[in-house]
Amino acid sequence: MQGRIVETIETAVERACRQADTASAWKTPLVGFADAGDPLFGELKTAVRPSHGLPGDLLPGARTVIAYFLSFDPAIPRSNHRGVLSSESWAVAYIETNRLIATINRRVNRLLEQEGFRGTRLPATHNFDEAQLMSDWSHKHVAYIAGIGSFGHHHMLITEKGCCGRLGSLVTDAVIAPTPRTGRERCLFKFDGSCRKCETRCPVQALEADPFGRHACYDRLMENARLHERHGLADVCGKCAAIVPCSFTDPVNRALRINRSNR
């Protein structure tokens, strides 16, 4: 079942890249699986917010959480490197990737149902508390539990393919072997105190605040949404992720490889 789910997600991405009415493109996705009974899900009630859902809240009898990372084609973050407002390509990619996530979840659920299992159809975004700006189901925290990546200083998930992309997830009652978590840092700042380029890239200094300047960040997202509203709802920014060491790769692993080769 695991292989068929991965194949279904990869095929959906490949087809989306070929569609004439789609401007964006994505690299091969990363897919991870987590045991719905993993104790880390319970810890999200402290790490995120007390009302954060458990897999069983979304689907009674949940056994597995499936998470995936849709990595943007490098041209998209490169377009977002200059200026203080998001590029049109970045905004369009956000909208088109949300649509792709909905397609993926439908296709994975169809596969599950054919095999006699159930699944959820979780939205890619806009399922959060607009006062506290927090979600009751955090795709990035779920993806961490599923072994897809680790958190960077910019509060985004850094995967082996970097942080420029979007995350989706769904819950199923199918039993699927979990993906091992490495427990290794992928953020250079957390690893050895270097970098912090995401902080200097943030146009509203949200990453200089402790705790994170969530409302300053959200205000900029709304400004970009107004700028790109002709395309749909694109409450985006992405400046902290565009053309920094973790944009397209795991920079810690890259640094370790370079160090080994220089010995």
Q: pLDDT tens across 35-60, in order?
A: 999 999 999 999 998 999 999 999 99
pLDDT digits (tens, 9 = 90+) for 131-162: 556 688 999 999 999 999 999 999 999 999 99
* The pLDDT value given to residue 211: 81
Place 260 in a pLDDT band, splitting at 50, 70 and 90: confident
Task: Say if CB 246 and CB 160 are below 8 A apart.
Answer: no
Q: Above pLDDT 90, what percent of the chain?
A: 84
Place 127 in a pLDDT band, splitting at 50, 70 and 90: low
**How does the average pLDDT of the chain come out, rounded?**
93
Beta-carbon contacts of 135 under 8 Å, excluding residues fewer than 6 positions away, are 48, 52, 127, 128, 129
The model's pTM is 0.94
* The pLDDT value given to residue 128: 59
Q: How far is CA 86 from CA 68, 83, 213, 214, 232, in A?
A: 24, 8, 18, 18, 14
Higher-confidence residue of 77 and 47: namely 77
Question: How would you class 131 by CB atoms within 10 Å of its CB: exposed for 0-12, middle for 13-18, buried for 19 or more?
Answer: exposed
Please tell me the distance from the alpha carbon of residue 49 to that of residue 127, in angstroms, as a whole number. Answer: 14
Please tell me the distance from the alpha carbon of residue 107 to that of residue 171, in angstroms, as a whole number. Answer: 14
- Position 74 pLDDT exceeds 90: yes
Segments making up each domain of the chain, as ranges: 2-261
Please tell me the distance from the alpha carbon of residue 112 to that of residue 89, in angstroms, as a whole number. Answer: 34
Q: Above pLDDT 70, what percent of the chain?
A: 95
Q: Where are the alpha helices (DSSP H) in the chain?
A: 2-18, 39-47, 55-58, 75-79, 88-114, 139-145, 188-192, 197-201, 214-227, 251-261
Higher-confidence residue of 167 and 121: namely 167
Place 246 in a pLDDT band, splitting at 50, 70 and 90: very high
- Specify the range with the lowest mean pLDDT, choosing from 48-52, 115-119, 241-245: 48-52
Task: Say if CB 257 and CB 214 are below 8 A apart.
Answer: no
pLDDT digits (tens, 9 = 90+) for 187-207: 999 999 999 999 999 999 999
- Position 84 pLDDT exceeds 80: yes
